[in-house]
Amino acid sequence: MPARMPSSMVPRRKVEGNQPTTAGTSTTRIRVSAWPKPSVHRSRSNWVRCRYPTIRIAGEPETAEGSSTVRPSSDSPRTIGNVEPVGSRFGMGVVQLVSDAITPPTAMVMPNRMILLRFDMGPAPGRRPGIEVRRRSSYDTRDPSSRLELRWRPVPPMRTAPLKILRTQCRSVAVVAPSVLLGFAVALMSGGCGESGGSVSADADRTLPTPSDLDEYDVGVRIEILAELERLGKSPSDPAAWARLGDLYLAHDRPALAIESYDASLALAPDLVRPRYLRAWAHHDQGELDAARADIERVIELDPDRTHPKWRAASWLVEAGELEAASRLAEASIVPPDVDLNGVRMLAAIRLDQGRPEDCVKLLEPVVRSQPKDRGSHYVLGRAKQLLGRTEESARHLRLAGDARSTFGDPWLNELSNRRSDLAARLIEVQTRSNEDRHDEAMNLIDSLTTMYGPRREIRYATLVVLANRGDHAGLLEAVPALVADEPAWPLPRFREAQAALAIARTVTPPDAAGVDRAVAAANAGIRLAPGAIEGYELLGEASGTGGRWLDAATAYRRCVELAPFIARHHVQLADALVRSGDPMAGVEVVDAMDRDFGRSVDAALVRARAFVMFGRLEEAKAILEQCRRALPEHPGIPRTDAAIRRGRP
C-alpha cells in the first residue's frame, strides 16, 4: 500500500455549482460564502477502523439510545447527515421494522400513522453479518413516520463512525421448495450465459455467481436473487445487469459475490464509476484495503467532481493513519458555494484527531448553526471545546449529542437499502402503504406475507399497526389478547393495547375512567417487560395525565428525560405536567434549562406562559402567547394557552 494517496488524486478546490447526484439520494449540502482555510500538520494518529450503529433483528424495545424527535418548534437535536430518530409530535410509533428502538407516543393526540418493527428472525447457520449500508444524509426530509431509526453501538471517543447496518439473514417457511429453486439456478448456470443464436465475449461467458447456501436464505431474498439471475442469463453481456446483481448481493451481505459480479460488469465497461465505487466498498468490508484503495483512487480519477468518493477515501486514509493525505482529500471535497457537509464533518474530525481543536471548532460551528439538530456534529464540537477548556459550551453540545456519533451517508451506498427484499423490507412496504392511507393494500400484503412466511409474530403485529393507522382501535383491542397470550414476554403488543385503550377513552368527555385504567395497566405491563422502553413511560405519562393524575404523569415523563435527555419533547412534557400538577416554579425551571440546552422554542414558551398564568402574571403570559402566535400561528398549543389566560388558570 502506498504511503499516501498520490497528489494527482487530490483535485484542487474550485468553486462549482451543484454536482450531479442520484435523484432522491443526494448528500446534504449547504450554501456558504466561505469556509475557514485549513492548513495541514502531521500528528500522531490513534484512529482505528470504526464500527457502526447496529440494526439487529430483535423484538426487544430500545432504551435511551434510539428515541424520537419533536416538532420543529421544539428545537430538539435531530441528526442531519447522520441518522434521525423516528417519530413526530403527531405520530406515535412503535419499534420499527429496521430497529429495536421504541418510538414514543404523541404528547397530545393519538396517531393515525404507525411504524413497524424489526423482528426476531433466526439467523441462517454459519451466516456472518456485515453489509454496511449508509442512510442518505438528506434522509430526514422524508415523512417522520417513515424514517429509519438506529440503535447506537458504543464507539471509541473522538472517532467519526460511519453507519453500519448488520443485515441478519433469517430462516423462513418457504413456499417454493428449495430444491426447485436451486435446480432453477443450476439450470441457468449449466445453460451457459450466451444469448441464443449468437456468441458473447469471453468476459460475459462465465458462470453466474450463485450462493452455495441459497436454500437457507430468506425466501423473499431467494426469489429476488433467482429473478435477477434469470434476467442476467438473458443478457450476460450487459454490464448494468451484472452491476444490479452485485448491488443485490451487497445489499444482502454477500460482498464476495458482489465483488465477482462487479468484476464482470467492469470487465465489460471499465470506466463505470458506480460499480467500481461499490466494489471498493465491498473490498473494504472484506478487509482487502489495497484493492479498496486502488478502486476508489480510480473512481476519483474518473469522476473528479463528485464529492463523496473523496471524503470516503479520506476516511479510509484516516484508518491507515495517513492524516495529511486524508486532510487533503477531505479539503478537496468541500467545494463552495454548495458544500457537501459530510466533507466538512470529515475534515473537522480529522482536525480533532490531529490535535487542532480550534480548527475543528471553526469548521463545525457554521454547521451546527445551520443544522442545529445535527447531533453527531454536536458531539465532535463538544469534544473540541472540551479540549479548549470551554467546559460550559462543551457540556451543552455533549448533552445535545447524547449517544449519537457522526455518520457518513452517500447516495450510492444508500441505494443498496432499496434492493433489500427480506421480510423486514417487505414489512416496510406494508408500513409505507398504511402510512399513505392505503390500508387495504397493506392488509393484502400482510396476507401474502403470511402465506410466504407463515403466521410469524412480527406479521401478526403488523396487523395491529395497520389497525391503529386506520383508526380501528376497537379492532386492535380485539386482536391484541391473542398475540399477548402467544407472546407474553413481548412488550410491544402491550404498548399498542395502551395506545388503543387511551384513544378510545379520549373519545368521550370526560375521558372514560375504565379505558384510562386499562391504558395505565397495559403501559405498566410493557414497562415491566422492558424497563428501558421510553415509549412505555411516555404512554404511561399520557394515560396518567388523561386521568388527571399529573404527579404520576410528571414522574413518568421525568423517567423519559432520564433515559433520553437529548430529546426536547420529553422536557416539554415534564414541564407541562409539573405546571398542571400545581408546581409552576418547577415547570419554569425545566423550561429555563431547555432554553439553555436546546434554544428557545414555541412549545417551551407556551408552557412558560401557562406557568405565568398560575403566578397571576397574565400580561407577561399574553405577551409570550402573542410572540408564539406570530412565530407559529397554527401551533396546537396556542388555543389551550389562550383559554388558560382567559380563565386565569392552566
**Look-up of cell digits 465491498:** 282
Q: Which of 609-618 are b and which e, b meaning 16 or more Cβ less than 10 Å from the residue's Cβ? A: bbbbbbeeee
* Sequence-distant (≥ 6) Cβ neighbours of residue 565 within 8 angstroms: 399, 402
Alpha-carbon span 384 to 361, nearest angstrom: 6
Cβ contact 357:385 at 8 Å: yes
CA 418, CA 427: separation in Å to the nearest integer?
Answer: 13
Buried b or exposed e, range 8-43, using 16+ CB within 10 angstroms: ebbbeeeeeeebebeeebbbbbbebeebeebeeeee
Q: Residue 31: enclosing H or E segment and its boundaries?
A: strand 29-31
Which one-letter amino acid corresponds to residue 29? R
- Which residue type sits at 435? N
pLDDT tens track for 382-436: 999 999 999 999 998 998 898 888 888 899 998 998 899 999 999 999 999 999 9
pLDDT on residue 649: 77
- Residue located via cell numbers 383559554: 643
pLDDT in tens, 201-253: 444 456 889 998 999 999 999 999 999 999 999 999 999 999 999 999 999 99
Its pTM surpasses 0.85: no
Q: Cα–chain-centroid distance for residue 502?
A: 28
**CATH architecture of the region 456-647:** Alpha Horseshoe (1.25)
3-state secondary structure of 181: helix
CB contact at 8 A, 59 and 151 = no
| CA angle, residues 309, 310, 316, in degrees to nearest 5 | 90
Q: Are 328 and 6 in contact (CB under 8 A)?
A: no
* C-alpha to C-alpha distance for 127 and 511, rounded to whole angstroms: 52
Please report the DSSP string for 337-361 in residue order: BEEEHHHHHHHHHHHHHTT-HHHHH
Task: Evaluate the omega torsion of the peptide bond into residue 510 and state whether it is cis, within 30 degrees of 0.
Answer: yes
CA–CA distance, 459 with 452 (Å, rounded to integer): 11
The total of other beta-carbon atoms located within 10 Å of residue 619's CB is 10
Angstrom CA distances, 101 to 58, 263, 429, 497, stand at: 10, 38, 19, 18
Q: Give the pLDDT of residue 21.
A: 36
Look up cell 426487544; give the residue: 60
Give CA 584 to chain center in angstroms: 36
Residue 60: the pLDDT is 39
Phi, psi for 205 (deg, rounded to 5): -85, 80
Give the 3-state secondary structure of residue 81: coil
Measured in whole angstroms, how far is the alpha carbon of residue 505 from the centre of its chain?
33
Q: Would you kindly state where each structural domain of the chain is located, as residue ranges? A: 1-171+178-270+322-419, 456-647
**Segments of the chain with pLDDT less than 50:** 1-27, 30-204
Q: What is the C-alpha separation between 574 and 559, in angstroms, rounded?
A: 9
Q: Please report, to the nearest 10 degrees, the dihedral formed by the alpha carbons of residues 340, 343, 344, 347 taken in order.
A: -170
Residue 582 per-residue DSSP state: T
| pLDDT at site 338 | 84
Sign of CA dihedral 42, 46, 49, 51: negative
137 secondary structure, DSSP code? T
Give me the numbers of helices (H) and strands (E) for the chain, helices first please. 26, 2
pLDDT at 493: 97
Beta strands in 53-144 (DSSP E): none
- CA nearest to 354, candidates 328, 319, 327: 327
